[in-house]
Amino acid sequence: MTLESDPLDLPMFGGEDRSGGGRRRSSFAYGEDRSAPDKEPSAAIPSRHHHSHLHTVPVGTDVVASTTPLRPAGMDVLAAAAELVDWTLVGVYRAEVARRLADRRGDTNWTVEEQEQEGWAVIRQILDEDDGAKLASSAQTRSLAEREALGQALFDSVFRLGRLQPLVDDPRIENILIPRFDRVWVEWSDGTMHKMPPVADSDEELAAWLEFLAGRAGNPRTFTQAQPSLHMTLPGGQRLAAARDTAWTSVMIRRHRVREVTLDQLVSWGGTSPTIASLLSAAVKARLSIVVSGGQGDGKTTFLRALCAEIDPLDVIGTFETEYELFLHELPEERHAVVYAWEVRGGSSEESATGRAAGSRQTAEQILDSFRFRLDRAILGEVRGAEVWLMIKLMESGAGSMSTTHAASAQQAIDKLISNAMEAGAQPQVAAWKLAQTVHLVVQLACEVVRDPDDPSKARKHRYVAEIAEVVPGENEAGYATNVIFRRRAGECAVAAMPPDRLMDRLIAHGFDADAFDAEVQANRQQPRGL
């Protein structure tokens, strides 16, 4: 089916509840409660990181969020849909739904709710007509379950994410991995992998659907053979990445399970310690520049949200992201009164006079514009390459800026940032000196899957602060030095090691509990060091 030729101009992403990450329950049900007890998966593969020996970590509480399912499992719903739904028929009916909705709408400007209500009315009408035709010809009609599954699939196809919708609705799923249309895997919050039914019938169908999805986004993107990379935020806040220059059209969807979080919550979840929280809270209030480092899935975005919760609610904040992930601009005014949120604009398929995609806007241009917005704080979502200079520019221009990067340790994070600057043409000494002048702290995160030794089926992902290092301008050959304030401890939160002498006065002035830190240092010196 050719999705981009859909005759109905529907706002695909309008009206979604971004606070919860899922769609509203439809009114299509016929007198039955669609919710069902969650089932254990029939085929589960253990986590790739098995640490059952870490029995000292309490089992059952996720550092990011509870793993308790909220509604019917996406696995169960999708499996049922795969058995009950004829997706070829969905494609045919979808075009008919679009045609009838276009006729009904005419010149009327519908709200999102009105569009969806009309959509359900049309879907019921079509299914009623089909059932009537089957009865007239003495053909077997659909069961209630088949009718409801087909209706929901059709609604999702027109207004939501099609076959993917049950997966993004499932609160247990963190990652959706699609290396090709008929190979779909999900990673649960406990680290286990589960195979799912296909999300398309061919590579062409998956590519066409993604192209349609990209074009209907609030910030339209292009996904073609000429522009084979797609990065966008889905209506529930999930991050989607897709590629057409791989062997097959490939998709990766990452779900952010917690939108509003604080350092105190991270302490209660075991993600950090009270002493670490005290230091970081003071660091944010003292307007120190912070880089949060970690691997993929280590919780960098969530942790950055927690740091931002320590910012004065009246500070003017600017966020700069490739695609929205922080969503500070959607939090209540009591948390952040003024947030200017910039997102990279991919532009259209047309080229401007400069040879760029018409309407495209890159982070460098947006940061330049932001200097007229009187920002108190600037948050750069992620540093992956040459944008390290943008991070430095923001940290030089506004105190208390923050960013994230991918690295396995605080030292590696600094080395990577220097390498990024060198790739952009800087001399290593200059890059190191600039970083040492602008970055105060590097917070290193880690993540491990912890299983109950008495019951391996019980598990959780343990995300925690593994290390905090102070970056100090130095006269050595490297041009900088590091002071490890909180050192690593195997499988647990970092422990106090060395006081941040250069920053101590500023931290104490903003609430840092130096006495508790010193007491922890003394206690740790009497214990064996973990690796």
Summarised one tens digit per residue, pLDDT across range 477-512 is 667 889 999 999 888 899 999 999 889 999 999 999
Per-residue pLDDT at 175 exceeds 50: yes
pLDDT, tens digit, for every residue of 361-375? 777 888 888 888 888
What's this model's pTM, rounded to 2 decimal places?
A: 0.68
Chain centroid, CA 467 distance in Å? 23
Q: What's the whole-number mean pLDDT along residues 140-146?
A: 84
Compute the distance between CA of residue 159 and CA of residue 525 in angstroms, rounded to an integer.
Answer: 59
Average pLDDT of the residues of the chain: 78
How far is C-alpha 425 from the geometric centre of its chain's CA atoms? 31
Predicted pLDDT of residue 209: 86
- What's the pLDDT tens digit per position in 65-87? 333 333 344 555 555 556 778 87
The winner for highest mean pLDDT among 188-202, 314-328, 381-395 is 314-328
**Edge-to-edge strand order for the sheet containing 183-188?**
44-45, 193-196, 183-188, 173-180, 250-254, 239-243, 229-233
Q: What is the pLDDT of residues 7-56, one digit of tens each?
A: 333 333 233 333 333 333 333 333 233 333 343 333 444 444 433 333 22
Q: Which two tokens stand for residue 336?
A: 């952040």
The CATH number that domain 66-70+171-257 falls under is: 3.30.450.90
CA distance 371 to 511: 30
> What residue spans define the domains of the chain?
66-70+171-257, 74-166, 263-525
The tally of CA atoms less than 13 A away on the side-chain side of residue 247 is 4
Q: What is the pLDDT of residue 281?
A: 97
Tell me the CATH number for domain 263-525: 3.40.50.300
Q: What is the pLDDT of residue 357?
A: 52
Residue 155: closest CA among 126, 185, 131, 133 = 126
Report pLDDT for 37: 36
* Helical (H) or strand (E) element with 263: helix 263-269
Q: Of 64-73, 193-202, 217-226, 431-440, which gets the smallest average pLDDT?
A: 64-73
Interatomic CA distance for residues 515 and 508, integer angstroms: 10
pLDDT for residue 39: 39
CB 459 within 8 A of CB 451: yes
**In the chain, what is the greatest distance between 2 CA atoms, to the nearest angstrom?**
89
Nearest to 151 by CA among 181, 111, 121: 121
Give the Cα separation of 402 and 439 in Å (integer). Answer: 9
| Closest by Cα among 326, 310, 220, 329 to 263 | 310
- Report which listed range, 51-55, 276-280, 423-427, 474-478, is most confident: 276-280
